[in-house]
A and B are shown apart, each in its own frame.
Chain A
């Protein structure tokens, strides 16, 4: 805990004793567990931050109804980053220095996660990131963990599916956002590893209202086998609709940024036959009954719907997994920051909505690429393909 940092001027053993006794005291007196959150609840990434905040609120309510974690009440302090990296940095600092939180969950986007990361490393408080960029956990940083599948896994998953279906020459259309840029880099990297060709690359801005020009370029390029769209929010739906309108005759793949019912709702008929890489949550009911994830997913979906009267998304699922990781680690080790961190790193076999988490000192993401699913939109709903 940060408030004991001052004791480091004493010999190591003294400080350790002092810290552990006061922690003991705190826990006995029911000192609350303080969770700090910095989420993009407004702004262009609000589709990520909004369900995440709702999920965290729901989790905290449930813990407190059940008497807290290990008898200690849970407190949530939340700041809205609006998707801005500099705001995220400011708020992370406030959580760490003023609000004295035990853990930070947040950074809805890759950019905001990357902005929070140096702060937690400096203050030595565990951070469970909800951004997807692989850069958040590579290289591994001591205090930073991350829930969602990386965009590298998404790239690999999509490219392998393309390859298996005979597509080798790829058109890539990525958003100019941090999400899109990181996705584009991972696509390049993985395409090279798999011996595939990205023959044309185009970009679009998150608030573009028409991308016909870019798609016309792709259409006029011969011998393209498939189109990958790497973007999040409304952009992927606009691209899908424009592609449909100009009669672009290619299999279309979308990243996990399009893995929500909203994509189908916005793109309408243009969503038909589009492939989407996604966590299993969108097709929970289609999982085999003996799939270990099925129970977790069904439970989360039910709770979320009961609490918020809307269907759960993968983005809410990420936050849910963060609370599962936290709960398990706190139960095992309490909230003293070093032990909490170590406990998160030791988590193994934890079945959550994204897959089964097996954290290790080398892997602060802990889920494998095959827990990511390929879905296809058929008759306006997601179908599990692979």
Chain B
């Protein structure tokens, strides 16, 4: 039992970070119909910025906040510099632009910050908390707590605010949204900025656990993408569910079967989903796609 709970806690912690990345994928996908392959690298931008802003003497809280702002700016820049100028490009061309942006971000990070690993202090100490035979480090609470708070805030944003609904309307039908007087390019800008900030939040909260590295975004991008696809690309609830399923399954696999197969989990899950539920766990049904 103790073991099971330990695997569960580990899985939820890892899954939470995947969720933030997956939500970023959804935001951009909904708003623009493209898969942003630089999403994982926003995680890196957040983590690395936090490390270096703090190293320059800025107090921790402010440094973390600024790092998230930097992530948001990276998203805005990607839109302004890469996506918006290519107005009439096909989705596939835009996707290639995001791949280029990912390599660019990695390259810049490598030049500016080097290729080392950097650790960020945990937010509130290192003393593990033990209950029912489960060990949990305080940072795990931060990871899970921040993710829950962000998911809740996004939920409120999309169901309770005019702007949130305008973003959704844009994602469902861009022309019709324009006819409502919604500035859809502003919505796109906002979505990219939000996606960048979400990635950066993930980077900031995991950097104390996994260390920041200029290539840390590759793994997060991959896992976040798998989670988003599991949830039915575009569904926010689905993205969170997909991320938790992925994180927990990986932990259970490593715990009960063998860590050798852990990394195959993502691919097996994707294949199963594509095979049995092509639109994902929470994918939009045809009816709703008017």
Q: Which residues of A contact B (CB under 8 A)?
A: 41-44, 46-47, 50, 176, 202-205, 207-214, 216-217, 220, 233-234, 237-238, 245-247, 262, 265-266, 268-269
Q: How many A-B residue pairs have CB under 8 A?
A: 90
Partner of B128, one of A203, A233, A247: A247
Does residue B110 face the partner (Cβ distance < 8 Å to A)?
Answer: yes
Write the nearest CB–CB distance from A228 to chain B, whole angstroms.
Answer: 15
Q: Could you mark each residue 4-33 of chain B with 1 if its beta carbon is under 8 Å from any beta carbon of chain A, else 0?
A: 001100110110010000000000000000
- A212 in contact with B6 given A202-B259, A207-B219, A237-B211 (CB within 8 Å): yes
- Contact at A203–B260, with CB atoms within 8 Å? yes
Partner of A207, one of B13, B218, B259: B218
- Contact at B117–A266, with CB atoms within 8 Å? yes
- Contact at B119–A216, with CB atoms within 8 Å? no
Partner of A216, one of B3, B13, B219: B3
Contacting residues, chain B, for A208 (C-beta < 8 A): 262
- A205 in contact with B210 given A216-B3, A234-B117 (CB within 8 Å): no
C-alpha gap A351/B275 in the complex (Å): 61
Contacting residues, chain A, for B117 (C-beta < 8 A): 47, 233-234, 237, 262, 266
Write the nearest CB–CB distance from A323 to chain B, whole angstroms.
Answer: 22
Chain B at the A interface: SS class: helix
C-alpha gap A233/B116 in the complex (Å): 9
Contacting residues, chain A, for B259 (C-beta < 8 A): 202-204, 211, 213-214
Write the nearest CB–CB distance from B69 to chain A, whole angstroms.
Answer: 24
Contacting residues, chain B, for A43 (C-beta < 8 A): 215
A-B contact list, 12 entries, CB within 8 Å: A42-B115, A42-B215, A50-B115, A203-B258, A203-B260, A208-B262, A209-B14, A213-B255, A216-B6, A217-B3, A247-B135, A265-B119
Contacting residues, chain B, for A42 (C-beta < 8 A): 110, 115, 215
Q: Could you mark each residue 218-252 of chain B with 1 if its beta carbon is under 8 Å from any beta carbon of chain A, else 0?
A: 11000000000000000000000000000000011
Write the nearest CB–CB distance from B208 to chain A, whole angstroms.
Answer: 10
- Contact at B119–A210, with CB atoms within 8 Å? no
Partner of A245, one of B128, B255, B258: B128
Write the nearest CB–CB distance from B246 to chain A, whole angstroms.
Answer: 13
- Contact at B215–A213, with CB atoms within 8 Å? no
Q: Interface size on B (CB < 8 Å)?
A: 37
C-alpha gap A210/B259 in the complex (Å): 12
- Contact at A210–B115, with CB atoms within 8 Å? no
Contacting residues, chain B, for A209 (C-beta < 8 A): 14, 17, 206, 209-210, 219
Q: Could you mark each residue 185-219 of chain B with 1 if its beta carbon is under 8 Å from any beta carbon of chain A, else 0?
A: 00000000000000000000010011101011011
Write the nearest CB–CB distance from A81 to chain B, whole angstroms.
Answer: 14
- Contact at B3–A220, with CB atoms within 8 Å? yes
Does residue B175 face the partner (Cβ distance < 8 Å to A)?
Answer: no
Partner of A46, one of B115, B252, B263: B115
Write the nearest CB–CB distance from B268 to chain A, whole angstroms.
Answer: 16
Contacting residues, chain A, for B168 (C-beta < 8 A): none
Write the nearest CB–CB distance from A259 to chain B, whole angstroms.
Answer: 15
Partner of B263, one of A44, A205, A211, A247: A205
Contacting residues, chain B, for A50 (C-beta < 8 A): 114-115
Contacting residues, chain A, for B13 (C-beta < 8 A): 210
- Contact at B6–A210, with CB atoms within 8 Å? no
C-alpha gap A176/B260 in the complex (Å): 8
- Contact at B128–A44, with CB atoms within 8 Å? no
C-alpha gap A187/B145 in the complex (Å): 41
- Given A47-B117, A213-B11, 8 more A-B residue pairs with CB atoms under 8 Å apart are A43-B215, A44-B215, A202-B259, A205-B262, A213-B251, A220-B3, A246-B6, A247-B135
Write the nearest CB–CB distance from B258 to chain A, whole angstroms.
Answer: 8
Write the nearest CB–CB distance from B110 to chain A, whole angstroms.
Answer: 6
